[in-house]
């Protein structure tokens, strides 16, 4: 069934975008949708024009594909993503990534808004994801395997591509942006974590926590795509800050820190064409 849905999605995109398709894709996390403003956009496709794309329902996720360029690098950008807590089963989240693979995408950049487990990585900080832990309770690869996409059992030793991580770090140094590096964990949400859960995650070696990203990384790696991950820290985890957590805070802090993550992404993505 997934293969049929991907085939339909590819056909729907090709019907609107007639030119060549980018080899680099970017998924924008909560509050980062306006990154589209810095793109040289050729084509805009609403998710509801793609028959099998799950539709996002969360504030800060517009639900559009933007196809164009950043600097000299052709880019397709997902302006909004889908989450498990919206009711989408994990295997449905595979459709967009496999559609990109079918259209020729080779590199996937995943961004998210995340909570920090470290006082020295406060709201506004940026973290390059070096590894992840899946505590969502779901895996998009569950069920029959499509051998045309990837193997039944696949390696995740280097979930986040070393070369891409080094390129992001190089871009951060060039722009004088302090970039943390750490381990991200995905929990299912939609509630924020309890202080006890944050303490547990800290003991497990987790640096940042969120409700996305891992599923997308799994699908991309299964398909043989190189993946980079970047977290925009929007809050300290529960119990580390006196303030109650909210999605409003996530969007507000993402807005404040947008300048740095936007500059970093532009420099990094433009450099991928060199």
pLDDT value at position 166? 98
Q: Give the residue ranges of the chain where pLDDT is below 50.
A: none
**Torsion sign over Cα 91, 137, 31, 159:** negative
pLDDT value at position 251? 78
Model pTM?
A: 0.95
For 2-271, CATH gives 3.40.50.1580
Query: Of 256, 216, 254, nearest to 109 (Cα)?
Result: 216
Give φ, ψ of 27 to 5 degrees. Answer: -105, 125
Structure tokens at 78: 């997902």
The three-class DSSP label of residue 224 is: coil
Which pairs with CB-CB distance under 8 Å and at least 24 residues apart come from 85-91? 85/188, 85/189, 85/190, 85/211, 86/54, 86/56, 86/57, 86/58, 88/54, 89/138, 90/136, 90/138, 90/139, 90/140, 90/142, 90/215, 91/2, 91/140, 91/142, 91/143
**Domain segments of the chain as ranges:** 2-271
pLDDT value at position 58? 61
pLDDT value at position 42? 96
pLDDT value at position 61? 54
List, for residues 151-188, the tens digit of each pLDDT value.
999 999 999 999 999 999 999 999 999 999 999 999 99
Give φ, ψ of 49 to 5 degrees. Answer: -90, -10
The three-class DSSP label of residue 241 is: strand
Neighbour tally for 17: CB within 10 Å: 18
């Amino acid at each position: 069934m997934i293969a049929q849905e991907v085939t339909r999605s590819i056909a729907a995109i090709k019907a609107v975008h007639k030119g060549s398709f980018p080899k680099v894709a970017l998924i924008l996390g909560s509050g980062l949708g306006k990154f589209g403003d810095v793109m040289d956009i050729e084509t805009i496709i609403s998710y509801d024009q793609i028959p099998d794309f799950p539709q996002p329902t969360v504030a800060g996720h517009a639900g559009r594909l933007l196809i164009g360029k950043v600097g000299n690098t052709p880019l397709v950008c997902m302006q909004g993503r889908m989450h498990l807590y919206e009711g989408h089963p994990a295997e449905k989240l595979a459709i967009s990534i496999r559609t990109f693979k079918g259209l020729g995408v080779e590199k996937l950049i995943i961004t998210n808004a995340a909570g920090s487990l470290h006082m020295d990585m406060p709201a506004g900080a940026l973290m390059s994801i070096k590894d992840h832990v899946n505590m969502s309770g779901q895996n998009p690869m569950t069920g029959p395997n499509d051998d045309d996409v990837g193997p039944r059992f696949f390696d995740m030793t280097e979930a986040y591509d070393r070369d891409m991580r080094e390129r992001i770090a190089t871009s951060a140094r060039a722009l004088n942006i302090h970039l943390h590096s750490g381990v991200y964990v995905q929990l299912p949400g939609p509630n924020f974590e309890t202080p006890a859960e944050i303490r547990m995650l800290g003991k497990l070696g987790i640096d940042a926590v969120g409700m996305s990203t891992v599923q997308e990384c799994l699908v991309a790696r299964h398909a043989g795509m190189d993946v980079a991950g970047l977290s925009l820290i929007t809050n300290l985890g529960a119990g580390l800050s006196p303030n109650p957590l909210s999605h409003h805070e996530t969007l507000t802090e993402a807005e404040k820190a947008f300048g740095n993550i936007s500059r970093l992404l532009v420099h990094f993505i433009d450099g991928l064409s060199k």
